[in-house]
């Protein structure tokens, strides 16, 4: 069986794009397990400008007109052998709608992973455009999929309010413990340092809650520092907010960092924060846990059930300024009582036991091998197909 990991981009792990990193990791570990796997990427540039990788990567040009596919991509699909399985990563991507129809026409199986795009919070952004697009196009991608992989419980549950998906499965992302550089020692800070790593997106990542909650903590008299690794369009706005809140002297913006440098910066913290409003299954949280950092996380990260099971951090049951402040206060108390290290050890154990990439790849391989979908989804009377794809901006 041939496996094609299909992504918008080049599956470059050294980018602030979790979907591309997941596609890369899946391909890498499937290759290491002896599976026949390639990455196919749709990109603006056909330059292979990414770190060396052992598996083949084919790049196809993203066309200015979303109604069209690169002719070479159409030809590659036409020439794919009958035992090829495609794994499509991402939602609301017009190219994937067209590809799904080509695969359906050829009778080729594909697994679809929306990566958190179909959660309640995600569907609130550009709500009406997304609803229209979903009913016209995304519904077809889902209906024709051999299986739909959901990364977290929130998306697994919410998708049923959009349409019935009997072929859905819940399989999270994974993490490599051996990806962590050797020689990283636990931080020895005088007072608690909270860290974040990811795209600087205020709404998506809940960074407004994070900054406002941290400001409340400082105004209550706690000594603490917040360090953010990453970049994004919202960075200038959020930096202005730190000044407005009077906490600019307590906040460090490192910008985008990758590889060992990123891990060394993350390890300077005592507690890792992820207060997202919506997620698939954030790789940054798994990376922090692998570093031995206790994680303070919101329910939309989809990891809180694991955090509770392993006692690996401080899971938020509610999301807002006050709940974030209260959780940070608890972290400060644990820091002062020298109890954070135990939670950090539990976090690393959690990654080793629950998020091993090889085990996840084996689960997916069994899914690819199934001759029939998990359950044949019924045709929806509300679905329709059109010849125009709206621009979601």
| Same structural domain, 162 and 194 | no
| Same structural domain, 159 and 10 | yes
CA distances from 247 to 83, 234, 251, 280 (A): 57, 17, 7, 30
**Two structure tokens written together for 28:** 């890498």
| Same structural domain, 326 and 365 | no
| Cα R_g (the chain), whole angstroms | 21
Q: Coil, helix or strand for 165?
A: coil
Return d(Cα 381, Cα 346) in angstroms, integer: 48
Whether residue 384 is contained in a domain is answered as no
| Same structural domain, 164 and 217 | no
**pLDDT score of 138:** 98
Whether residue 181 is contained in a domain is answered as yes
What residues have CB less than 8 Å from 378, skipping those under 6 apart? Answer: 164
Return d(Cα 134, Cα 140) in angstroms, integer: 9
Return d(Cα 103, Cα 319) in angstroms, integer: 41
In the chain the first and final C-alpha atoms are separated, in Å, by 37
**pLDDT score of 391:** 37
Whether residue 182 is contained in a domain is answered as yes
Return d(Cα 345, Cα 55) in angstroms, integer: 34
| Same structural domain, 83 and 230 | no
Whether residue 160 is contained in a domain is answered as yes
Residue 335 has φ and ψ, to the nearest 5°, of -60, -50
Whether residue 323 is contained in a domain is answered as yes
| Same structural domain, 219 and 335 | yes
What residues have CB less than 8 Å from 274, skipping those under 6 apart? Answer: 196, 198, 205, 282, 284, 285, 295, 296, 297, 298, 301
| Same structural domain, 202 and 343 | yes
Return d(Cα 72, Cα 168) in angstroms, integer: 31
| Same structural domain, 263 and 305 | yes
Q: Total structural domains in the chain? A: 2
| Same structural domain, 89 and 237 | no
| Same structural domain, 149 and 23 | yes
**pLDDT score of 372:** 64
Whether residue 375 is contained in a domain is answered as no
Q: What CATH number is associated with residue 84?
A: 3.40.50.2000
Please list the ranges in the chain whose pLDDT falls under 50. Answer: 376-393
| Same structural domain, 279 and 136 | no
| Same structural domain, 124 and 182 | no
**pLDDT score of 389:** 38
Whether residue 236 is contained in a domain is answered as yes
**pLDDT score of 185:** 86
Give pLDDT tens digits for 36-92.
999 999 999 999 999 999 999 999 999 999 889 999 999 999 999 999 999 999 999
What range does the domain containing 217 cover? 177-354
Give pLDDT tens digits for 324-368.
999 999 999 999 999 999 999 999 999 999 999 999 999 999 999
**pLDDT score of 18:** 86
Return d(Cα 227, Cα 252) in angstroms, integer: 5
* Cβ–Cβ < 8 Å for 195, 252: no
């Amino acid at each position: 069986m041939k496996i094609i990991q299909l992504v918008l981009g080049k599956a470059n792990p050294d980018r602030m794009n979790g979907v591309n990193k997941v596609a890369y990791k899946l391909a890498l570990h499937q290759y290491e397990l002896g599976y026949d796997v390639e990455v196919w990427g749709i990109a603006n540039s056909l330059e292979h400008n990414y770190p060396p990788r052992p598996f083949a990567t084919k790049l196809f040009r993203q066309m200015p007109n979303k109604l069209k596919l690169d002719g070479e991509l159409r030809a590659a699909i036409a020439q794919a052998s009958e035992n090829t399985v495609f794994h499509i990563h991402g939602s609301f991507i017009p190219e994937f709608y067209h590809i799904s129809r080509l695969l359906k026409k050829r009778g080729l199986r594909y697994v679809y992973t929306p990566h958190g795009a179909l959660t309640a919070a995600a569907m609130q952004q550009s709500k009406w455009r997304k609803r229209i697009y979903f009913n016209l196009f995304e519904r077809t991608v889902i209906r024709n999929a051999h299986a739909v992989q959901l990364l977290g419980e929130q998306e697994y549950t919410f998708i049923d309010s959009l349409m019935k998906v009997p072929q859905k499965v819940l399989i999270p992302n994974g993490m490599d413990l051996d990806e962590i550089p050797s020689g990283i020692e636990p931080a020895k800070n005088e007072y608690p340092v909270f860290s974040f790593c990811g795209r600087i997106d205020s709404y998506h990542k809940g960074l407004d809650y994070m900054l406002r909650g941290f400001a409340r903590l400082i105004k209550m008299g706690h000594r603490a520092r917040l360090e953010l690794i990453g970049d994004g369009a919202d960075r200038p706005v959020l930096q202005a907010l730190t000044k407005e809140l009077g906490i600019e002297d307590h906040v460090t913006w490192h910008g985008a960092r990758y590889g060992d440098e990123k891990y060394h910066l993350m390890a300077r913290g005592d507690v890792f924060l992820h207060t997202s409003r919506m997620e698939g299954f954030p790789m940054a949280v798994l990376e922090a846990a692998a570093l031995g950092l206790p994680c303070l996380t919101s329910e939309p990260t989809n990891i809180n059930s694991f955090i509770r099971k392993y006692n690996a951090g401080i899971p938020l049951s509610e999301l807002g300024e006050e709940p974030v402040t209260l959780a940070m206060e608890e972290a400060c108390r644990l820091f002062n009582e020298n109890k954070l290290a135990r939670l950090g050890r539990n976090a690393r154990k959690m990654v080793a036991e629950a998020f091993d990439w090889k085990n996840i790849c084996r689960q997916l391989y069994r899914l690819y091998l199934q001759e029939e979908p998990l359950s044949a989804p019924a045709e929806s009377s509300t679905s329709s197909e059109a010849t125009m794809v709206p621009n979601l901006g």
